Structure 1
Amino acid sequence: MISHQLTLEYTLHPGWLAPFVEGIASGTAIARRCKNCAGTSFPPLRVCLCGETAGEWVELSGMAHIFFRTSGQDGDFGLVQFDGATTKTTLRLIDIADEDTRGVIAAPQSNLPMLCLTSIPSGRAK
């Protein structure tokens, strides 16, 4: 077997997801609200569960309820639902105590557009 290191450098363009991806980078929850049923998907769905393709971008509060959580070698992850969204998503949990059931969106700690949830700062309503 021959071992060979291959390095690739490329840019992925977000296309129609640009508002969502820019929101993730800044720690803002940008969702898509269906024009037909008003279902709000975060992360956004191109085609709503009702079958509609028309939608508008809306900013959510960034607060989310944690339904399930797991820990592994790559960190802590949770299944959460953001306030105002009708869908759930899986994301990385950062500095959230085991007993906490809520968190707030955070900008990723790397250059990757990764969904992250962190503990709610004291003084901010849960």
Structure 2
Amino acid sequence: MKIIQYLAISLFLCLSHHASAKDITSSLADQEQFYDLFPGTLLEKNNQLYLHSCQTMDAEFKLKFNHPADEQYIRKLMQKYNKFWLYLTADADMKNDEYSMTVDGIAEEHLNKTCHLTEWLDEL
């Protein structure tokens, strides 16, 4: 009888440990956000910042910032430099035919340079 009680308790502990580990894993997965790198120049329309993508597609992404200091820093760069481009760590989305991006950080900055082929050709 004691062996059955011991096995029952052991089984209960194993199952409850497995369930709680699964809950922890799923809650961590829900909290994790993965970001990509997006290169582009910055522009402002109606006090809203946009990233003009350096990629072959000509797209502008409306920017939302996880950290207000990043937006403030970009606005200072826009005042100081006529041209620059950045790699933003962000998550892109499209809703209602509008591209948007949630920016988590600035990965790289390239001051006094452009990343757009048309602007490079104009400089030649």
Judge same fold: TM > 0.5, yes or no.
no
Larger radius of gyration: 2
Structure with greater proportional helix content = 2
TM-score by length of 1: 0.33
